[in-house]
Amino acid sequence: MLDKRQFYIDGQWVAPQASHDFDVIDPSTEEVCAVISLGDEADTNTAVAAARQAFDSWSQTSKAERLVLLEKLQTIYNERADEMARAISTEMGAPIALASTSQCGAGSSHIKNLIRALKGYEFDQPLGDHAPDNRILHEAIGVCALITPWNWPMNQVTLKVVAALAAGCTMVLKPSEIAPLSSLLFAEMIDQAGFPAGVFNLVNGDGLGVGSQLSGHPEVDMVSFTGSTRAGIAITKNAADTVKRVALELGGKGANIVFADADEKAVMRGVRHCFNNSGQSCNAPTRMLVERSLYEQAVAIAAETANKTAVNTASLEGHHIGPVVSQMQYDKIQGLIEQGINEGGRLVAGGLGKPEGLEKGYYVRPTVFADIHNQMTIAREEVFGPVLVLIPFDTEEEAISIANDSPYGLTHYVQSQDSEKANRVARKLRAGMVQINGTFLGAGSPFGGYKQSGNGREGGVWGLEDFLEVKAVSGWN
């Protein structure tokens, strides 16, 4: 069992000012794998003060100076990738193959892409030929509170921390207390790279404690949060009194529209994508909308794919899904599966309980519901587990209407070999991202959503600009 009862504040590892131990649970075994401390208000205030003290000097560093340190960080991160993959796999249950590639790899990719965005970004720009004495300056917003989730820990930590560093901001990171080990390792990497004291600080804590203290803190200029819509609303309200910027990346209920002319692998691809990371992705395609002429065939393919989806421990090599992250998540998912059955959904794969032979650990059976309509609870709430619902449609207009009939608008998907139709539908979908025929978003593409999926964008130039203020100056010579 690891002892991780320290915070990284003002360039050094320090003991918490008031000890409140918290057990980190390995979801594959339900055993304690580490002990951390949850911070109190004194720890939060100390970290914010360190970030405030460091801001004036760090915000005035040149782009070249920041690039040197970020490139060192990238090298260190890649050199310690095996450590990072093991930490992620242990803390949140990602199978080691997924942790080594997609989970750890996301962090490396975001560091690389944000370095590229910084190299090409001009912080000082002319307004235009019509006003030659006017300049537009892009300046660091200030001290940032970065609050990250457990499901893709390094994906979210790097998107926030590296963008904030590139913009010239200082920060306090509060990772999820459920999966803090990867962030503590990342703090070691920041220290190893040689960032100045106070620029990056880490305090562990829960949402009601350190999270609330940061979002309402008068010396914090911005909160960047990824997590549930419920928590995002609470953070926004708490931040309102100090009129700080709040950037939110929240939940999703992705619609995957499968037209009758979709390629033959579209349904299988959609099921696998939904189940990836044990369904614990805000952008998962959890609602499969299928044109009626293809519907029963799609139900059969989805059920077969789910039944062939292996479930096993995170430490085992191979292509399988692991457990969900916690007992709380497991219980929530079981409750929603039960509600789907009670509301009349046709269960064609999976269901309640754990897979055979996996009684210890938070394992969920890969589950598929057919004959769902869009007003059922399981079609509207974010399950955050390996659970897919299938909904039939008759016309293009009906498919778009069903897809958009959601409080969320993060990522939708379109499957059609008619490119004109696919592009037309993509334009009408109310979501921050649309993926057509299994293609992935390009490096540096903006990540974020419409409606209750949040505001702001992460990644690339958009992610950098989330952490910048805009200043107009006239009379510039």
Instruction: Cite the active site residues.
Output: 249, 282
129 neighbors 208 (Cβ within 8 angstroms): no
CA dihedral 439, 445, 446, 452 (to 10 degrees): 10
- For residues 299 and 303, give the distance between their C-alpha atoms in angstroms, rounded to a whole number: 6
The strand pairing partners of 412, in sequence order, are 434
Report residue 317 as tokens: 């090599």
205 neighbors 17 (Cβ within 8 angstroms): no
Cβ neighbourhood burial of 284 (10 Å; 0-12, 13-18, 19+): buried
Cβ neighbourhood burial of 406 (10 Å; 0-12, 13-18, 19+): buried
Reduced to 3 states, what is the DSSP secondary structure of residue 222?
Answer: strand
| Beta-carbon count within 10 A of 295 CB | 21
**Phi/psi at 400 (nearest 5 deg)?**
-65, -40
- For residues 104 and 373, give the distance between their C-alpha atoms in angstroms, rounded to a whole number: 37
If we measure between CA atoms, which residue out of 468, 471, 390 comes closest to residue 118? 468
Number of alpha helices (DSSP H) and beta strands (DSSP E) in the chain: 16, 23
- For residues 150 and 264, give the distance between their C-alpha atoms in angstroms, rounded to a whole number: 34
Report residue 409 as tokens: 């608008």
Q: At what angle do helices 419-428 and 396-404 cross, to 10 degrees?
A: 30
- For residues 217 and 169, give the distance between their C-alpha atoms in angstroms, rounded to a whole number: 16
109 neighbors 443 (Cβ within 8 angstroms): yes
- For residues 460 and 447, give the distance between their C-alpha atoms in angstroms, rounded to a whole number: 9
Report residue 399 as tokens: 């498919």
- For residues 195 and 161, give the distance between their C-alpha atoms in angstroms, rounded to a whole number: 12
If we measure between CA atoms, which residue out of 215, 92, 63 comes closest to residue 153? 92
137 neighbors 124 (Cβ within 8 angstroms): yes
